Copies of this chain bind each other. A is one copy, B any other.
Amino acid sequence: MSAPTADRIQVMASTAPSWLEASEGEEENIVLSTRLRLARNLTGHPFPQNADSGEQQTVYEHLTSSLVRSGLFAEEALFPLLELDQGVGRLLVERHLISGALARKEGPRGVFADRGERFSVMLNEEDHLRLQFVTGGLASTAAWEELSGADEELGEEVRWAWRSDYGYLTACPTNVGTGLRVSVMMHLPALVLLDEADATLRAATQAGMLVRGVYGEGSSVHGNIYQLANQMTLGRSEEDILESVVRVARQVAEHEERARLTLRREAPLHLEDKVHRALGILRTARLLGPRECLNLLSAVRLGVNMYVLSDVEINTLNELMVLTRPSHLDRREGREMDATEQDVLRAEVIRGRLRPRGGTDTNE
């Protein structure tokens, strides 16, 4: 890989994407991020699943040069997956820059991402191109304007497959139309503790939302983090889609707020006990599995949100949720580790970042 790409990947291992640190959006206690993505395909070229590797290469080169020419990305912003090892692919998945499917498939494919990782473009995943914009918190229409602006700039360079009766054509029918998917990542620990998450999310599903785990389709829920996204992209304007997802997400957030008040009122001791213990374990454990780690970070995050804990920053917790993922740890160490080695390093990274103010190690 090129030296700038290698440097950037190394920095990623110990730095969270900037959108995780900013609390620019609404409801940032509960909403970690909103992602907006547009699915687009070049006209006159088969979708990636029907394309041979020559055709895939043509599309890849055409889009790469168009993206650079449009001024949206510098050439160095590209991560060409064919030239990078699988560990880098997994790292990019952990940062939500690419899907697991893109990491696992073969052929010419990749992702452009700006430095802050707000803006990114996947090439040759299910569609030829997927344009993504991420904000911390619950997105406003400003986020859509950013993404839409980029889409228009790019539209001057390429011709998209589009029909006046359907809208944008995509490999999977669920994306036909606007090609817009809005996903909101929500932290719902109080609903989970009160065993009300399923009912609340069932209501969201009935309101037309897809509900999934933190790594999208087929991924399980860890750390009480759920993704809400629109199911349909056809027959409605982009603004409508965004607005409807935001509305449902706001309702879910209200349920979570109410659940937090209930916890505070009805089980204050159990709440305090849970969050203090979680921080105590994070500050002292020598082995931390990925799932336990996320669950403990989730409890501490709840504790900070609810003013039970005061000497931890929410940003630190948000960052640690990404930086303690397996491929981030491998990259930090510079080699592929086994699960126990990762558990040791995960616990070290956590202890280093969650050290009490003015303290060294908690038990020493």
Binding site for B on A (CB under 8 A): 269-270, 272-273, 276-277, 279-281, 283-287, 309-311, 340, 344, 347, 356, 359, 362-364
Chain B residues lying within 8 Å of A276, measured Cβ to Cβ, are 284-286, 363
Q: Compute how far the CA of A285 lies from the CA of B283 in the bound complex, rounded to whole angstroms.
A: 13
Q: How far is it, in angstroms, between the C-alpha of A344 and the C-alpha of B270 when the chains are bound?
A: 10
The answer to whether B363 and A309 touch across the interface, beta carbons within 8 angstroms, is yes
CB<8 Å pairs between A and B, sample of 24:
A269-B286, A269-B340, A272-B286, A273-B285, A273-B286, A273-B287, A276-B285, A276-B286, A276-B363, A277-B281, A277-B284, A277-B285, A277-B286, A279-B284, A279-B363, A280-B283, A280-B284, A280-B362, A280-B363, A283-B362, A310-B364, A356-B363, A359-B359, A362-B362
Complex CA distance for A277 and B347, rounded to whole angstroms? 11
Q: Which of chain B's residues has its CB closest to A359's CB? A: B359
Question: For the complex formed by this chain, how many copies does it contain in all?
Answer: 2
Q: Which 6 A-B pairs have the closest CB atoms?
A: A280-B284, A273-B286, A280-B280, A273-B287, A276-B284, A272-B286
- Contacts of A344 on B, CB cut-off 8 Å? 269
Q: Once the chains are docked, how many angstroms separate the CA of A276 from the CA of B287?
A: 10
Residues of B within 8 A of A269 (CB): 286-287, 340, 344
Least Cβ–Cβ distance between A351 and chain B, in angstroms: 9
Please measure, in the bound complex, the distance between the C-alpha atom of A279 and the C-alpha atom of B286, giving whole angstroms: 12
On chain B, the residues within 8 Å of A284 by CB distance are 276-277, 279-280
Task: From B285, B287, B309, B340, give the contact of A280 (CB < 8 A).
Answer: B285
A310 to B284, CA, bound (A): 14
| Among B286, B287, B311, B363, contact of A363 (Cβ-Cβ < 8 Å) | B311
With a CB–CB cut-off of 8 A, which chain B residues contact A362? 280, 283, 356, 362
Bound CA span A334–B146, Å: 66
Q: Which residues of the other chain, B, contact A279 by a CB distance below 8 angstroms?
A: 284, 363
Distance (whole angstroms) from the CB of A218 to the closest CB of chain B: 31
Contacts of A272 in B (CB 8 A): 286
Closest B residue, CB atoms, query A280? B284
Which residue on chain B has the smallest CB distance to residue A271? B286
Q: How far is the CB of A278 from chain B (nearest CB, A)?
A: 8
